Copies of this chain bind each other. A is one copy, B any other.
Amino acid sequence: MTTIRDVAKAAQVSVATVSRVLNNQGYVSAHSREKVERAIQELNYTPNAVARSLYKKKSKSIGFIIPDISNPFFPQLFRAVEKYLIDHEYTVLLFNSDDQLDRISNIMDSMRTEYVAGAIIVSDKIKEEHLAKLSIPVVAIDRVISEHVPSLTVNNYKNAREAIRYLVSQGCSNIAHVRGPKGVYNAEERFRGYRDEIAEQQLPSLVICGNYDLKTSLVATMELLDQHPEIDGIFAGNDIMAVGVIKALAKLGIQVPDQMKVIGFDGIEWGTTITPELTTMEQPIEQIGTKSGELLLNLIDGHVMDSHHYSFDAKLVVRDST
């Protein structure tokens, strides 16, 4: 492979001169510039990102940190982010943090040594102090890091209230909530939405923890219905848990939607693989992914943001489970 050194040698100039030509920065005489450009042509040299990043102190890559790509919410979000960034000639480096502090620390090191130009982050554990070490622009998705870090989320609270109102409109009067893990931003917001709407509707409140996980949700739902056979509607805090709810109902022989109505949140493909298909509050995943890429590139280019929080509405998608 031709290197910047080969170009410098062929052009009889220093590597620093070739670099100045490539980056169009600093003084280069017309004569030297011409020699460098001729050498680049003759050697068919492609300036590479690694060499350029050494001089520019930023590469054309973006770090994208998520908890776990095996969670079926993330592949679709990743593809949307990636599409926008590739169209703008960036490479995306995907990091799975499992939201564990030691992994996060390693990821921060990798991003620093790879000179990523910016980062898009989905995490409940990453705080401002972790980001301070990076000194690169950061955008948060699906979670809020702090008021100083731009973030994009759906209106978890408002959309959760809408889900409850929809179940009520379908005749449900004993609505349980299978909530996501404590301390997870969107799980807390959706829980608050359930709690406040149930109070407003003067209905009994029944909350169990499903940990954003199919099996936990399945087991918890079976126990719940054993104790509370009066339940006629379930709002699951995400679609994965809603699939667990529907599996539990199948095991118990409870007919959906006749005896029980179920609504999820997120709009992942899993909801359409099952029978009956899942009614859900569908996030505009592509729009959020695209917008996060756009905001980050604006920040990298030094533009000022209009706002520090961008919110989107999840849309009620009615299928066969209600």
Contact = CB atoms under 8 A, between A and B. Distances in A.
Interface residues of A, number: 48
A48 B114 CA distance: 7
Contact of A110 (B75, B91, B112, B274): B91
B270 A247 contact: no
A273 B275 contact: no
B86 A46 contact: no
B113 A49 contact: yes
A54 interface: yes
A76 B70 contact: yes
Given A50-B50, A50-B115, A113-B48, A250 B270 contact: no
Contacts of A76: 70
B91 A93 contact: yes
A114 B49 contact: yes
Copies of this protein in the assembly total: 2
A96 B82 contact: yes
Interface in A66-91: 68-70, 72, 74-76, 78-79, 82, 86, 91
Interface in A262-296: 269-270, 272-275
B48 A50 contact: no
Contacts of A59: 50
Contact of A61 (B114, B250, B275): B114
Interface in A104-158: 106, 109-110, 112-115, 135
Nearest to A274: B274
Given A247-B275, A273-B243, A68 B61 contact: no
Given A75-B70, A91-B93, A275-B274, A51 B54 contact: yes
A46 B113 contact: yes
Interface string A40-70: 0000001011110110010101000000111
5 contacts: A61-B114, A74-B75, A75-B75, A79-B96, A214-B272
Given A51-B54, A214-B272, A270-B273, 10 more contacts: A1-B112, A46-B112, A50-B59, A50-B115, A54-B54, A61-B114, A74-B75, A91-B93, A92-B94, A273-B274
